[in-house]
Structure 1
């Protein structure tokens, strides 16, 4: 008896499931039919009101053409900077502040920070920047000394040459970066001064050994002098001095790897994009207008 009841329950459940599936199926079929009928109605309206819709489309194309020729052409180029032993997030913050100034059209602030004229600042359309090694380190790590790419959009092609040193100096003149540079510069300069004094002292000693006067006889403070070791010591110190002087010339926190390259043709605007967008938008306007007009006529 219990088995019969259980079997009836299963049959009833299966039957209800089939009914639910059939209901969903019929709803989907009805929906597809409604969509099909809607498209057929739309197609018939387009055929009936084709002149009106084409008029709207031509109007949109004309406005898009006018908008293209009114819009200022702009040029895009990029430069790559490499950092010294400083954290990338500091440079990221500096560039982000400058990008906000450009976005807000704050031309006096841009002129002041980049040390350019306000007229030149008005020629900047936009700026983007990216950290080239951002995806190569773990989330918990601190990125240091990684290169940056700065992409600049200008309304005047010839300004790229002046914008390269302007951006480099803007980053280099950061108070923290300048302080670190001065500290390193003083350290290297003090070592160079000491080396020069020691080289001068050894040169004087070499002269004394090579041309002894009086009772020197190749001895200083009771120890014999080896001219070869003096020359070797002098050459070693001179090499160290040359390396430090080269290092002194490369103490900038920001160095340009590849600079901006002027473009012969503008990056934008694109005529085809303007025509496509304006034509599509006004085609849709014309279609909506035609549908509303047809609906009113039926009513």
Structure 2
């Protein structure tokens, strides 16, 4: 079978895909080589122009320190709020509205919403917030009654207690929240008044049973009276009244769990960050200047 051996002896040709890969690898190799040569050249220039670059870095650090000295120090603290049976999205929208006004510098509106003076509003640098349980529920679920964390940055650390109360009142005095609170309050007060009336009526019955007048012989309207049961029922009703009166103190839609921690030392600005940015920018500028000087020098020689 000579034709088979001839086919086996023929050299195999590369497919177009294999040729393209070889070209790509060759191109990548050349590109990596150019990058390495460029990096080595830059390092040589930096070493050669070290005094120039070092001088520019020193100037950059000096300017960074000057800017740091002019920057106004600020203090950052956070507070935690817990909600009643209210959708967290409602509170999120309320806080987002306030955060936008702070970001835009609309201090007149901020002062009006928080019921503080304009000077105190101007001390707010930044405000952020987050749902603490946001990642614990499914995407298609509605988050309700989850705690919130508000982070506030102020230029005056003395104002944290004022802002704590102002933020809580800002959320609590929302029209929708206030309406829901009023409805619950009326319901609880109505139940308390009803219990008081029933307790008063039961007390009169207990008095009649304890000190009967005339030939009642322990009967009222033909029904026998058990003083022990009357006293038990009276105590049960009084306990319900006390519980309802206590619940009136818990009707607030927003309650502070942890208030703003007082800060004595500024949170920022950070000197290290200023120096890092200033020195980095100066180093880049110095490197560019050194490379251009070397190019001009080489072009003159040529």
| 3-state SS in 1 of match to 2:152 | strand
How far the C-alpha of 1:6 sits from its partner, in A, is: 7.3
How far the C-alpha of 1:72 sits from its partner, in A, is: 1.1
Aligned to 2:275: 275
Could you say if the C-alpha distance between residues 175 and 17 of structure 1 is closer, same or farther in structure 2, counting changes exceeding 3 Å? Answer: closer
Aligned to 2:154: 154
Structure 2: distance between partners of 1:10 and 1:209: 121
Write the mapping of 1:217-256 to structure 2, written as runs, cut at 5 A.
217-256=217-256
Aligned to 2:127: 127
Over the residues paired in the alignment, what is the CA RMSD in angstroms? 2.1
State the Cα deviation string for residues 75-104 of structure 1 (Å, max 9, x = none): 111111111111111011001101101101
Aligned to 2:186: 186
Could you say if the C-alpha distance between residues 88 and 21 of structure 1 is closer, same or farther in structure 2, counting changes exceeding 3 Å? Answer: closer
Aligned to 2:95: 95
Does structure 1 residue 12 correspond to structure 2 residue 19? no
Aligned to 1:84: 84
Aligned to 2:163: 163
Could you say if the C-alpha distance between residues 186 and 17 of structure 1 is closer, same or farther in structure 2, counting changes exceeding 3 Å? Answer: closer
Structure 2: distance between partners of 1:136 and 1:39: 48
Deviates more, 1:254-263 or 1:33-42: 33-42
Structure 1: distance between partners of 2:7 and 2:193: 102
Does structure 1 residue 205 correspond to structure 2 residue 212? no
| 3-state SS in 2 of match to 1:11 | coil
Structure 2: distance between partners of 1:4 and 1:258: 88
Write the mapping of 1:13-92 to structure 2, written as runs, cut at 5 A.
13=14, 20-92=20-92
Structure 2: distance between partners of 1:61 and 1:5: 77
Structure 1: distance between partners of 2:75 and 2:8: 78
How far the C-alpha of 1:35 sits from its partner, in A, is: 1.7
| 3-state SS in 2 of match to 1:128 | strand
What are the ranges of 5 or more consecutive residues in structure 1 without an aligned counterpart?
Answer: none
State the Cα deviation string for residues 95-115 of structure 1 (Å, max 9, x = none): 110110110111011101111
Structure 1: distance between partners of 2:65 and 2:6: 77
Aligned residues: 298
| 3-state SS in 2 of match to 1:66 | helix
Structure 2: distance between partners of 1:6 and 1:179: 92
Shift >4 Å, 4+ stretches: 1-10, 16-22
Could you say if the C-alpha distance between residues 156 and 4 of structure 1 is closer, same or farther in structure 2, counting changes exceeding 3 Å? Answer: farther
Q: Taking structure 2 as the reference length, what is the TM-score of the superposition? A: 0.92
How far the C-alpha of 1:5 sits from its partner, in A, is: 9.0
Structure 2: distance between partners of 1:255 and 1:34: 64
Deviates more, 1:274-283 or 1:218-227: 218-227
